[in-house]
Amino acid sequence: MSRSNVNLRRSSGIELGEGANSALPGERIAGREMVNQALAGRSLVDLARSGDAAAFESLVRSRMDAMYRLGLAILGDEADAADAAQETFVAAWRELPRLRDLDRFDAWLQRVAVNSCRMVLRARGRRRIREIPMAELDSAQERVLGMGASGRADAELLRAAIRHLSLDQRAILALHHLDGRPVAEVAEILGIPVGTAKSRLFKARTELEKALREEERR
Amino acid sequence: MNERSKRPTGRPWDDERLAEAYSVLAARPAPADLTDATLAATEKAHRSGRGGRGFAWPTLRWPRAALAGSAIGLVAVAILVAGLALRSTPASSPAIGGLPKTVDGLTVETVSQALAAEASGSPQGDGLIAVEGWLNPMPLPGCPYESPHPALEDSCTSRKLLLTETRQELVIIETTSDSTTISANAPAAPYLYARELAGVSIDSLPGGDDTKPNTYRPLQAVLVGHFHDARAAECGADQRASCDSAFVADQLAWLDGRSLGPNVWIGGDSTGAVLKPRLTTDGVVAALRPSLDPADAVVSMAVVTLGDITTLTGKGLQASGNGADLLWYVRVAGPSPRFPPMAWGAGDSGWMVLDDASGRLRGAGGWGFVSVATGSFPPSPRPSLSGGLFALPTTDWLAGGACAGVGLEAVLHGSPNDPRVAWLEDKLGGQSRTEVTWPAGYRARFSPNIEVLDENGNVVLREGDAVGGACGFDLDTGMAYLEPPFK
C-alpha cells in the first residue's frame, strides 16, 4: 500500500476508493478523480470541504449507519433517527467549510448529529410521522430480535425511560454507553470541559436509572 | 407478546446492562433509502449555494440559519450565537419592584450598577455581588468543533447567562408551513453576559426545551457572581482582559418570585469516577458554621478532588496532600470568618474548603486577603523519623492566592535539639526568631546543618538560605506559614 493510501485511511477513517465503488455508473469518473486527488494527499474530508460532492457522498455512505444508530439511541424512534441522520449530513455539507481541524471530522460530525437530534425533537410536534416499512429490517435487526426477550425488554425500557430525559442528557448517555466512549472523548464531541461532561453524565445516569425504575414498576 | 411481561426485575442497571440495552435499542442499520434521500437533500442544498444558505449577519441580530425542509418534511433550525460583546455600556436603571433587596446578605444591584462598580474596581478582587435583571433563556447554538480552551475564554459552546436590565423579548420564533426560524435580537438595555463554569454549573436554569411553550420567556432573576475570576490568568493574551471583566455566576439566587438555595454541584474526578461525598450539604454547612460569622451565607458548594481543585480556583492555589481527597469548595457571602484568625481584608465574601472525610476545614481565602493560613498544626515536632529525618510542623492547608510577598526578609536556621527543628531569623538581625509551619510531607535532616526536604525528598532549603515570603501569619502566635517558592 502506498503512503498516500495510509494517509487517506488515517485522515478519513474509511477505505480507499469507497466512494468510487459506491458511485453510480455515471459518477465513476468523478469517484476515480476523487481517489486520484486523495492519492495526491488530500483526504476525503478535505475534498468534501472544498465542494467535492463525490467525496462527500463517500463520507455519507461510510457514516450513515453510525449516525442513524446514534440518533436511535438519543431519540428512541426510528423515524426521528432517520430525520436526524439526514439532517446531520445536510448540515455537515453546509458547515464543512467552517471545519478547521480535519482530523476532528468524526467528533465534529457527531456533535452535528447531537444538534440535529435536538432540532428533530423540537420539530417533532410539527412534522409528519414517517413509517419505516418492515421490509427494511435486515439481518442486523433479525439479530436484535434474536437477542432474547430480556435484551429486547431492556431496550424497550430504555426507549421509554429516555423520553423522561432532556436531550442533553440523552446525548451524553448515548455517546458514553452506546459505543463505550470514554468521558474525555464524549467531552470532545460535545465541546465541553471534561469535568463538565463527568458531572452531566453523572446526573444524566442518575435520572435515567430513576426513569428506568419507574418504567419497570409500570 | 407483551415485552413488559418479560422484563427482568431486581437486576441492577449497571454499565453492562445499560450498554447491552443501548446496543439492542440502536442495533439497526439506517433504512435502505436514507442515504440516497440524504444525498438528494444535500444536492438540493448544494444547488441553493453552499456557504451562503440563508445565513444573515445583521448588525443588531444574531446570526440565524433556517434550513430547507428535507425530503421527509423535516423542519430544522440551526442557531449560531456569536458576535455579542460581553457587556454593554451602563445606562439607566429600572425600578426593582418585586425583587428582594438583598440576597445572601448582599445588596441587590441593577445591571448598570454592577457594571459601574466593576469599572471602578469594586468589589475588591473576586468578591461576590448580587445583580438583578431579566434572565433570558437562549437557544442552544450549533457549534463547529472547538479545541479545548481555558474555562473563561469566550466560545460558541460555553453556556452563557444573558441578564438584561429591562424586560425584552429577545428570542423570536417564526413558523411557516414549511420552515421555522429562530432569531435573537441583541438587548437594547444594559446587560451582563455571565459565564457559567464547570464546577459551579447552575442546574436550576430555565429553558432549553423548544417543545414547551414560553421556553424563551424572560424571567426576573437575581444572579450572585463575581468579576475578576482567578481563571482569567489562564486565558490567552488576546482574551485576558475580557476574561478578567467577565461576570462569573456562582448562584441563581432568586427566579421569578422564588428564592433558590445555594448552588450545589457534585461532579466526577479526572478519571471519570463519580464523586461520592460522605457529607451532605447540610453536614457541610454545619461543619463550617463554627468558623463562619453568624451573618455569613453559603452561596455555592462544589465537590471536587484535591487534584482537580484548581479547575475551580485557578492555578494560583497551592494544594498539597492526596490528590484523591474529596473536598467541598464553598463560596460564602458575608463578613470574614472567625477562624482562622487571619488579617482578613475589607472584602465581604470569600471561600472555604472543607475536607469531606474528616469534616475539617482545610483552606480559606477571599475577604480581601491575598493568602491563607493554617487551621491546625502540631505545637512541636514529632520525634525523629527513621533515616535520620526530623519531622517538621506541617499543615495540609490549601493556600489560596499569591503566597509569596507577605513580607519576609529572613534566613533559615535549624537545630536537632530545638522543639520546632527549623525557624527563621530576620536577615538584617533586627528581629528575633519567627516560627514556621511547613507544607504537608516536609521533613528535615542535619548534615551537619539543616536541610529541608519536600514531600518528594528534594532538598528545597538549607541553613542560611534566604526566605523571601510566606503565605500568611497567625495573628495570635505570629507564626508564618510557608509555601514554595520560598525565595
Q: Count CB-CB contacts under 10 A for residue B109.
A: 19
Q: Which residues pair with B353 in a beta bridge?
A: B329, B363
Chain A partners of B269 at a C-beta cutoff of 8 Å? 198
B138 or A111: whose pLDDT is higher?
A111
Q: How far is A32 from chain B (nearest CA, A)?
A: 19
What lies within 8 Å, CB to CB, of B187 at 6+ separation is B88, B136, B162, B164, B168, B170
Reported as a pLDDT band with limits 50, 70 and 90, residue A85 is: very high
Residue B108 has pLDDT above 90, yes or no: yes
In this complex, do B267 and A202 lie within 8 Å of one another by their Cβ atoms?
yes
Reported as a pLDDT band with limits 50, 70 and 90, residue A95 is: confident
B250 and B269 inside one domain? no
User: Which residue range forms the structural domain that includes residue B461?
Assistant: 386-481
Reported as a pLDDT band with limits 50, 70 and 90, residue B356 is: very high
Of B353, B334, B324, B259, the C-alpha closest to B295 is B334
Q: What is the ipTM of this complex?
A: 0.73
Q: How far is B74 from chain A (nearest CA, A)?
A: 6
Q: Chain A residue closest to B141 (CA)? A: A115
In this complex, do A158 and B210 lie within 8 Å of one another by their Cβ atoms?
no
Q: Chain A residue closest to B15 (CA)? A: A177
Q: Which grid cell sits at B66?
A: 433556517
- CATH number reported for the structural domain that contains residue B328 in this entry: 3.10.450
Determine, yes or no, domain membership for B40. no
Determine, yes or no, domain membership for A79. no
Determine, yes or no, domain membership for A123. no
Total number of domains constituting chain B: 3
Determine, yes or no, domain membership for B30. no
Q: How far is B13 from chain A (nearest CA, A)?
A: 7
Of B366, B397, B413, the domain-final residue = B366
Q: Let me know: does B55 contact B180? Beta carbons within 8 Å.
A: no
Determine, yes or no, domain membership for A126. no
- Rounded average pLDDT over B307-335: 79
Determine, yes or no, domain membership for A202. yes
Total number of domains constituting chain A: 1
User: Which residue range forms the structural domain that includes residue A150?
Assistant: 146-218
B310 and B391 inside one domain? no
What lies within 8 Å, CB to CB, of A77 at 6+ separation is none
In this complex, do A123 and B17 lie within 8 Å of one another by their Cβ atoms?
no
B313 and B238 inside one domain? no
Mean pLDDT is lowest, of A174-178, A196-200, B82-86, B382-386, for B82-86
B420 and B472 inside one domain? yes
Chain B partners of A107 at a C-beta cutoff of 8 Å? 145
Please spell the DSSP secondary structure of B170-196, one letter per residue.
Answer: -EEEEE-SS-EEEEEBPPSS-EEEEE-
What is the DSSP pairing of strand B410-414 with strand B191-195? unpaired
Considering chain A, what is the average pLDDT of its residues? 70
What is the amino acid identity at position B367?
A: W
Q: Chain A residue closest to B68 (CA)? A: A90
- Rounded average pLDDT over B339-366: 77
- CATH number reported for the structural domain that contains residue A199 in this entry: 1.10.10.10
Residue B213 has pLDDT above 60, yes or no: no
Mean pLDDT is lowest, of B79-83, B350-354, B425-429, for B79-83
- For residues B197 and B117, what is the distance between their CA atoms, to the nearest angstrom? 22
* Nearest-10 Cα torsion for B222, B227, B232, B235: 60
Q: Which grid cell sits at B261?
A: 438555595
Determine, yes or no, domain membership for A13. no
pLDDT by residue (tens digit) across B400-457? 433 433 445 678 999 888 878 898 887 655 556 778 878 767 888 988 899 998 877 8
B291 and B345 inside one domain? yes
Q: How far is B365 from chain A (nearest CA, A)?
A: 23
User: How many Cβ pairs closer than 8 A exist between chain A and B?
Assistant: 257
Reported as a pLDDT band with limits 50, 70 and 90, residue B284 is: very high
CA atoms within 13 A on the CB side of B225: 32
pLDDT by residue (tens digit) across A29-58? 344 454 455 445 568 888 888 888 888 888
The beta-carbon neighbor of A115 closest among B32, B73, B142 is B142
- For residues B397 and B474, what is the distance between their CA atoms, to the nearest angstrom? 13
Residue B147 has pLDDT above 70, yes or no: no
- Let me know how long chain B is: 487
- For residues A86 and A64, what is the distance between their CA atoms, to the nearest angstrom? 8
